[in-house]
Amino acid sequence: MNRQILKMDQITKTFHMGEEEQTVLNHINLTVNIGDFVAILGPSGSGKTTLMNIVGCLDTPTSGQYILSNHQVDTLDEAKLASIRNKEIGFVFQQFQLLPRLNAWQNVELPLVYRGLPEKLRKERAKEMLQKVGLADKLRNRPNQLSGGQQQRVAIARAMVTGPTILLADEPTGALDQKTGQQIMKLFHELHNEGKTIIMITHDKEIAQHASRIVHILDGQLSEECV
């Protein structure tokens, strides 16, 4: 029996542009179970970034209900949203978002610093995650000493170090060449095979095919296809 980890019911998001109101998400319904690998596929302007921000608790819907790990997210204030982001979501961004002054080890342990974990435990977990993504020999390298693919591996290790409920990836291969992008997708497959729940936002149909579910978004509405 599948165990539900995320449920969106009639999620709508509107923005005011002067006197006009623009609906970016229009009555979105989405369910994700533990262990799913979901690609949300859509072109620029489709609403996928807005949907990602709501999934990742970076924004809240105008209306509708969003349940994540038994938390009703749409009712929470910013402090509680920040707590959920730290505990439940591991973010992987297109441009890596690594801090240039920190080495790989320090970048990966940063979410654990925010949690207040002891230094020894932080270092052990960060090292373990970097070994997991194949960078055991790059612990002390800063981002400018790493290739694009290596930087994204550091970002994935940072996303996974807290043991998040969901790995949320925004165009994770968008800044990489095709060969490196395929290597990153191989790493996502390995994580998925270990039971990780992954939601990936992409405009690339070929990259979306790596997922076990593809959800299309267009004009703020979702439709699903079988893979």
Read off the pLDDT of residues 69-126 as tens digits, 9 standing for 90 and up.
988 998 888 889 988 888 899 999 888 899 999 999 999 999 998 888 899 999 999 9
User: CA–CA separation, 119 vs 111, rounded Å?
Assistant: 12
pTM: 0.91
Check if the beta carbon of residue 50 is closer than 8 Å to that of residue 13: yes
Helix H or strand E encompassing 16 = strand 4-17
Looking at domain 4-226, its CATH superfamily turns out to be P-loop containing nucleotide triphosphate hydrolases (3.40.50.300)
Read off the pLDDT of residues 6-37 as tens digits, 9 standing for 90 and up.
999 999 999 987 788 889 999 999 999 999 99
Domain ranges of the chain: 4-226
